[in-house]
Amino acid sequence: MTRCDKCSYESFYFQRYSGMHLCQKHFKEDVERKIRSTIRKKKIKKGDKIAVALSGGKDSSVALYSFNNIFKNWKNLEIVAITIDEGISGYRDRAIENSRLLTKRLDIDQRIVSFKEYFGYTTDEIASLERDKGICSFCGVLRRKLLNEVALEENATVLVTGHNLNDESETVLLNIIKGDIERLARFSPSKVQEGLIPRLKPLSSIPEEEVILYAQLEDLPTKKERCPYIDEAMRFEIRQIIKNLEEKHPGTRYAIMKSFYELEDVLRAKYSKKNLGKCKICGSPCIGEICQPCNLLSSIKKKI
């Protein structure tokens, strides 16, 4: 029997990148310690209102659960979960049900908002009109806008999302490979922009497989439903490359993020001068005259 490196109990998980065998208790402690450390850097303060983007999948469920565990005894700190229903039949219903069960279990207020009620279209309807374009580019942009709008309506001061270490390292490498360094700089905004709620990603230093294990241990939803429109050709290639590298060289994902954090100040210095303007249609902060979501919505209207 292999024993935990921190106590004499049976090992439950081998953490290849650290070389540690961990029992269940020490595995959970390790995950929670990393989450606390990420949150601490963002300086959550009393009086804050935290909006958590809750899809009902494993990542956002663990983000909400752990965030609530850390802060539930704080007075003057409110948490609200925001769930977006993109309108994808057969895919979102189960995740939304999971999100309802979790917010009920944790006694947290939840807002469920749909694309249909806010933008007038479901993702299914957009997909039937925009056959020649990837639907994710519409859905992802509109979801980000809606999350920000609802968080503003809720007077939230911080927006928590469930991105894990795998997501973060893929995004960094993807932007480098595409040569899109300005987008990489936006990944770590240099200043708080009026109208944009600052983001916090408590799982950004937790590998996906540890998020899944943690969710199983805490009896949270873990099943990842596959969206029928998923279109992530290049991201999928990057994911495979990083996965192969991680297997041969454990710690690659952390190394990618460490490099990014080292470059953050340089990127901020170069790209921080840009002040966002206001979209002429919806008033949201944007580069240029019309924001991306409004551009996409007007391209849909033209096709109806």
Q: Which is nearer to ligand SF4, 227 or 242 (CB)?
A: 227
Minimum distance, C-beta of residue 100 to Zn ion, in the bound complex (Å) = 30
**Interface ranges with ligand SF4 (CB under 6 A):** 86, 123, 135-136, 139-140, 227, 229-230
118 binds, among ligand SF4, Zn ion, none (CB under 5 to 8 A by kind): none
Cα separation of 31 and 274, whole Å? 37
Minimum distance, C-beta of residue 55 to ligand SF4, in the bound complex (Å) = 9
> What is the CA angle 126-162-117, rounded to 5?
30
Minimum distance, C-beta of residue 85 to Zn ion, in the bound complex (Å) = 21
Q: Which is nearer to ligand SF4, 123 or 157 (CB)?
A: 123
| CB neighbour burial string for 247-265, b if at least 16 within 10 angstroms, e if fewer | eeeeebbbebbeebeebee
Burial class (CB in 10 A: 0-12, 13-18, 19+), 285: middle
Q: Which is nearer to ligand SF4, 30 or 170 (CB)?
A: 170
Minimum distance, C-beta of residue 127 to ligand SF4, in the bound complex (Å) = 8
230 binds, among ligand SF4, Zn ion, none (CB under 5 to 8 A by kind): ligand SF4
6 binds, among Zn ion, ligand SF4, none (CB under 5 to 8 A by kind): Zn ion
The pair of structure tokens assigned to 192 is 């708080």
123 binds, among Zn ion, ligand SF4, none (CB under 5 to 8 A by kind): ligand SF4
Cα separation of 63 and 69, whole Å? 10
Minimum distance, C-beta of residue 87 to ligand SF4, in the bound complex (Å) = 10
Minimum distance, C-beta of residue 250 to ligand SF4, in the bound complex (Å) = 29
Contact yes or no for 205/253 (Cβ under 8 A): no
Three-state DSSP at 214 gives helix
CA distances to 165, 170, 197, 276, 295 from 204, rounded to whole Å, are: 5, 12, 18, 26, 31
Minimum distance, C-beta of residue 52 to ligand SF4, in the bound complex (Å) = 18
Q: Which is nearer to Zn ion, 9 or 271 (CB)?
A: 9
Pairing of strands 199-200, 158-160: parallel
Cα separation of 232 and 136, whole Å? 8
Q: Which is nearer to ligand SF4, 22 or 82 (CB)?
A: 82
23 binds, among ligand SF4, Zn ion, none (CB under 5 to 8 A by kind): Zn ion
86 binds, among ligand SF4, Zn ion, none (CB under 5 to 8 A by kind): ligand SF4
The pair of structure tokens assigned to 8 is 């004499």
Minimum distance, C-beta of residue 133 to ligand SF4, in the bound complex (Å) = 11
Count of other CB atoms within 10 angstroms of residue 29: 13
Cα separation of 298 and 292, whole Å? 10
Q: Which is nearer to ligand SF4, 135 or 211 (CB)?
A: 135
> What is the CA angle 94-70-19, rounded to 5?
85
Q: Which is nearer to ligand SF4, 140 or 288 (CB)?
A: 140
12 binds, among ligand SF4, Zn ion, none (CB under 5 to 8 A by kind): none
**Interface ranges with Zn ion (CB under 5 A):** 4, 6-7, 9, 23, 26, 279, 281-282, 284, 291, 294
